[in-house]
Structure 1
Amino acid sequence: MKEAARVVSQPAAPEDARPDFPVPHPPLAPALVWLMAATCGLVVANIYYNQPLLAEIGRTFQLSESKVSLIATITQVGYTIGLLFVVPLGDKRERKSLILVLLLAAAVCLAAAAFAPSFAVLAVASLCIGIFSAVPQLLVPMAASLASNEERGRVVGKVMSGLLIGILVSRTISGYVGAHFGWRTMFWVGAAIMVVLTGILARMLPRNQPQFAGSYGSLLRSLGTLTRDLPVLRRSALVGACMFGGFSVFWTTLVFFLESDAYGYGSDIAGLFGLIGASGAFAASAAGKSADTKGADYGLNFGILLFLGAYVLLAFGGYYLVGLVIAVVILDVGQQMTHVSNQARIFTLIPEARSRLNTVYMTTAFMGASVGSFTGAWAWTHFHWPGVCSVGVAFGVAAYLINRFYAR
């Protein structure tokens, strides 16, 4: 692995990077870690507000379930674009200024979604919401760069806890607001949150200057070099794609399952399942500690097995409320353990390229999430709940096989 790191870093060193001397950092204050965690949660929520609202949006624009589900997919595609073309700038531009600009842009896009007079306008706004909500993937490498080697896994785990809680609780809040005040209100609230958060971070977030000094083109080209020369990065990215894909299969279709004859619930109850899943988000911190002490592979293998077990339980016990609740917690714990373990592993590869490493990993993961949203909606339309669970199991099995056999 050290040889791979040298292969990646040597060609760019003369003209693309500043001298690679250790940069001393003050101790990473717990308050700063929690601020980063809260920021990740509030920003990533932008991507998931729409999922409990899909049925409501469909009724507004008179769309079928399969067509309105494209809003979730489009938002995730936008996030993937942001990961690929915006997050690498975290290795080149001062991160605080970049984050503040992205937050204000996200606020504008959320307001456009709230105002959207047609499905086409909402789709474009959703794409842009995804692009400008890539802030968490700048903050996670930033936290890793500020942490010591001994605490990096724990710090990443805590920041990821905020991100994962945001993913899940956003559905709860969105479902409640949508049911009682309409789906447009949720997007207005999201825009206001981004404006307030911009003010807080402008005052409290430290400036963080990266080391890369080359052009934007060379920055993007280096993504291919990193991917080619680091098999561990490729394996982590593919596992992440499968896990995020299976995760999206469930959460994209849950609202349709709960509103079906099996339960007959509304979007507010569907949103509450995000709160149930958030109880498992604290596994992220435990996964980070596990990566520090037992290595990333332990958390990966255990998380994938939990994920598969959850889908088996969903297939046979999902029609019973107790079984569905238990399966949601297990599914989220499994997803979070694999995600944090993957990130802890890749952040040890080349410290000065953490934003780009995260770009490769998260871009691939969210491409998987987009595929998961699409295939989940397709499975629900044609095969209903058994089809959804079968697709979820397929994603989990693929993750296990890749982690077990790829690039060993």
Structure 2
Amino acid sequence: MPTKRLPSLLLAIVAGVGVANTYYLQPLLHVVSVSLHLSGGNAGFLVTVTQAGFVLGLAVLLPLGDRFDRRLLIVVALALAGLFDLGAGLVSGVIPFGASLIGVGVFSVVAQLAVTYVAAAAPVETRASEIAKVMAGLLAGIVLARTYSGALSDLAGYHSVFLVAAAASVILAAIVWVRLPVEPAKDSLAFGAMWRDGILLLRTEPILRLRSFLGMLSFGSFSIFWTTMAFALSAHPYHLSSGLIGLFGFAGLAGVLSARVVGALADRGHAALTTVISFSLIALSYLAFYLTHDSLVIFIVLTATLDAGIQGAQLSNQSLIYRLAPGAQGRITMVYMVFYFVGGVIGSSLASILYGIGGWGDVTIAGTLAGGLGLVVWGIFATRERRWVNAIDHEGATMQIGQECGD
């Protein structure tokens, strides 16, 4: 499919609407905890439930894009995400609400189906830039989800957030069915074979192993922040409402802007530089959170720098892993994103526990360590990664270079 025909805008909207489903809850945790009679720490586990559902969706649904038409998969996933959004908007008990969130998480994987669609269609020389366009939509979805959910919750209660999201997903499914081109025919692969191929890629491609681990750390640091941020801002000394907390999503515009810059740099071969900058931003932002305690302006600025670092790390990783195996973008994304969201589950669970034990200060220490560990791990493997990337540049096709990992 030629680059000029890539439906980047529509795919960006799909990615934004899809990923928004997993972020509506974050600024609402305080009001949800009150409504469902949960403590702050226990309410934070609702984020974990959603992310666990997303991991399940990645493992089961995402590899299917390497066999079946992703247009059909996107339509089905959007429709089912809308169905589970409807459930979350109608139920009131903890168990049915949590069950609905699991379903929302599973089918929110549509955002990654949109990314793999463009990754499969774009030529190598512009792939990172084309992915960055869809990622900009994905990041805008994260930003608007937080802001929209906080504002609408203040006006009409948190159930209304999910009811409107259900309608948006179903409408978009119909648009995608009409407007998104059908993918070319693909080789028939059994589901078990696709899983085995994914595991084989993980075993034989050291870049995929390294970047998957870095992705796990970056999204773990993301979840550490957004799982507990609403509790920190609703408490002393800020005492903000859900609507005002949702406005913090606009700080994530820094991530949207950084995605385009990082994409352009990655296309020019500077993924190493963007990786260092991104994890430095993560570690330093958390350290500054720990050192400052009562300035709302500083809190806003640090939210922006943290999001920029996290999204920069994500795009740096993607710019390299999608060079590994043409035609296997779904399996590569499955491996990478399973690690990514396992990091999210660990981060949100850890943040809930730490906030219950020592409050916001303990949370920021954990985030600082996550960012610092990312820098250390990448530093250890930096020289070897340059060799691996150079080998791909010179030899082209997918290579069995896993043996170098022990060098």
Q: Following TM superposition, by how much is the alpha carbon of 1:185 offset from its aligned partner in structure 2, in angstroms?
A: 0.2
Secondary structure of the residue aligned to 1:207 is coil
Structure 2 CA distance for partners of 1:210 and 1:171, relative to 1, 3 Å: farther
TM-score normalised over the length of structure 2: 0.92
Deviation string 1:342-386 (CA, Å, 9 cap, x unpaired) is 001000001111111011111100000111111111111111111
For residue 329 of structure 2, the aligned residue among 334, 354, 358 is 354
Residue-pair matches, total: 383
Secondary structure of the residue aligned to 1:93 is coil
Alpha-carbon RMSD across the aligned residues, in angstroms, is 1.3
Alignment match, 1:285: 260
Q: Following TM superposition, by how much is the alpha carbon of 1:314 offset from its aligned partner in structure 2, in angstroms?
A: 1.3
Tell me if structure 2 keeps the 8 A contact 1:95–1:209. Answer: no
- Distance across 2 between alignment mates of 1:294 and 1:274: 31
Alignment match, 1:110: 85
Alignment match, 1:388: 363
Alignment match, 2:282: 307
Tell me if structure 2 keeps the 8 A contact 1:46–1:190. Answer: yes
Alignment match, 1:62: 37
Secondary structure of the residue aligned to 2:68 is coil
Deviates more, 1:105-114 or 1:161-170: 161-170
Alignment match, 1:84: 59
Q: Following TM superposition, by how much is the alpha carbon of 1:138 offset from its aligned partner in structure 2, in angstroms?
A: 1.1
- Distance across 2 between alignment mates of 1:241 and 1:400: 13
- Distance across 2 between alignment mates of 1:280 and 1:75: 22
Deviates more, 1:206-215 or 1:61-70: 206-215
Tell me if structure 1 keeps the 8 A contact 2:280–2:372. Answer: no
* Structure 2: gaps (5+ residues): 382-404
Q: Following TM superposition, by how much is the alpha carbon of 1:318 offset from its aligned partner in structure 2, in angstroms?
A: 4.8
Deviation string 1:79-118 (CA, Å, 9 cap, x unpaired) is 0110111100010111101111111111110001111131
What letter is aligned with 2:312? M
- Distance across 2 between alignment mates of 1:235 and 1:81: 22
* Structure 1: gaps (5+ residues): 1-24
Q: Following TM superposition, by how much is the alpha carbon of 1:219 offset from its aligned partner in structure 2, in angstroms?
A: 1.1
For residue 122 of structure 1, the aligned residue among 71, 75, 97 is 97
Alignment match, 1:164: 139
Q: State, as a whole percentage, how many aligned pairs show the same letter.
A: 32
What letter is aligned with 2:202? T
Q: Following TM superposition, by how much is the alpha carbon of 1:212 offset from its aligned partner in structure 2, in angstroms?
A: 3.8
For residue 39 of structure 1, the aligned residue among 8, 11, 14 is 14
TM-score normalised over the length of structure 1: 0.91
- Distance across 2 between alignment mates of 1:209 and 1:220: 22
- Distance across 1 between alignment mates of 2:149 and 2:4: 33
Tell me if structure 1 keeps the 8 A contact 2:139–2:255. Answer: no
Alignment match, 2:162: 187
What letter is aligned with 2:285? A
Tell me if structure 1 keeps the 8 A contact 2:254–2:305. Answer: no
Tell me if structure 2 keeps the 8 A contact 1:40–1:163. Answer: yes
Q: Following TM superposition, by how much is the alpha carbon of 1:278 offset from its aligned partner in structure 2, in angstroms?
A: 2.1
Tell me if structure 2 keeps the 8 A contact 1:28–1:146. Answer: no
Residues 1:146 and 2:143 aligned together: no
Alignment match, 1:10: none
- Distance across 1 between alignment mates of 2:184 and 2:347: 36
